[in-house]
Amino acid sequence: MLDVRKLIMLRAVAAEGSIAAAGRALQYTRSAVSQQLTALEAEAGTALVNRAGNRVTLTPMGRVLVDHAERILVEMRAAEATLAGADTEVAGLLRIGVPFREGPKIMSRALTDVRRRFPEIEMRLASTTDEAGPESVRRDQLDMVIISRYGDSHGRTAAGLREWVLGHDPLRLCVSSGHPLADAVSCTMDQLRDASWVMIPDSALGRLVSSMCAIAGFQPRVAATVDDVGTALGLVSMGWGVTVAPELTPAAGEGQVSRLRITGLDTVRHNVLVARDGEHLSPRLAAVISAVRAVAAELPGGQPSR
């Protein structure tokens, strides 16, 4: 019978891309991971990894075993959650990835309610991104995250994760109160050909905006690049330029921001909660997930929790 611990090591090697990095992630020495991989290959009777210098890739059979390992881990987490459920106390450390300054304020409202109901839960908040958040959960670096997804709410979910769509809001062009378009209800992309833009290039939203400009036949004249939507809106309110942002993302700064419909743009931002499959049944995670979904359902664009 295959050793589950060795399968976990194979999974870590696949995720980290090298034996040394897998060892650091699992707090084992490099040689210990290498020995366990060799032993697993002997048990399986076939090669599971391709070693090329410091990089390691999986063979087709190695990928099959990692898929099995993911399903095994889901069942193990579900079993542990069932055992934990025998203790009615909701307590312990909860590591939560929060999209600071992205809004709407789903997480802060929900966690305030959780804190009131379950004071024995210790919450450790960390800033996260749409791209890195789910992988941090899958690698057990975070317990749960909220991410934004643009377009299809049902994106590709990584193995071993579970998702809940909390709500959605449309994308809007955002301009300062002194901008010529500030009093308009809508605009076209062609009207923005000569505008100065505040861009978020290293994000799904930034790539979407670049694509919108390209389809309209122009390259955006970039006034500033930033890392998050909240900062972008702050610069817009100061008159630096225009940007595209979800309607419910709050604007920072002292100035005001006007939001306009863009003709032909029907893309929406979905707020998605991500946790590890199986572990979502544990008392502490289940309590927070329930609270987040309940709060989200009460907000504009919220998805009713079922």
- pLDDT the model gives residue 92: 83
125 and 156 belong to one structural domain: yes
* pLDDT tens digits along 1-25: 778 888 888 888 888 888 888 888 8
- pLDDT the model gives residue 158: 75
The CATH number of the domain holding residue 19 is 1.10.10.10
Q: Would 162 be classed as within a structural domain?
A: yes
153 and 192 belong to one structural domain: no
Which of the four pLDDT bands, split at 50, 70 and 90, describes residue 30? Answer: confident
Composition of the chain by helix, strand, coil, percent to 5:
40, 25, 35
286 and 155 belong to one structural domain: yes
146 and 211 belong to one structural domain: no
Domain hosting residue 285, numbered range: 92-168+269-298
- pLDDT the model gives residue 10: 84
- pLDDT the model gives residue 255: 62
Q: Would 303 be classed as within a structural domain?
A: no
125 and 153 belong to one structural domain: yes
Q: Which ranges of the chain would DSSP assign to H, the alpha helix?
A: 4-16, 19-26, 30-44, 60-84, 106-117, 133-138, 204-215, 229-237, 283-298
pLDDT of residue 199 exceeding 60 = yes
Whether the predicted model's global pTM rises above the 0.85 cut: no
Q: Would 203 be classed as within a structural domain?
A: yes
* pLDDT tens digits along 137-156: 988 899 999 888 887 766 66
130 and 277 belong to one structural domain: yes
Domain total of the chain: 3
* pLDDT tens digits along 79-102: 777 776 655 577 788 999 987 666
145 and 292 belong to one structural domain: yes
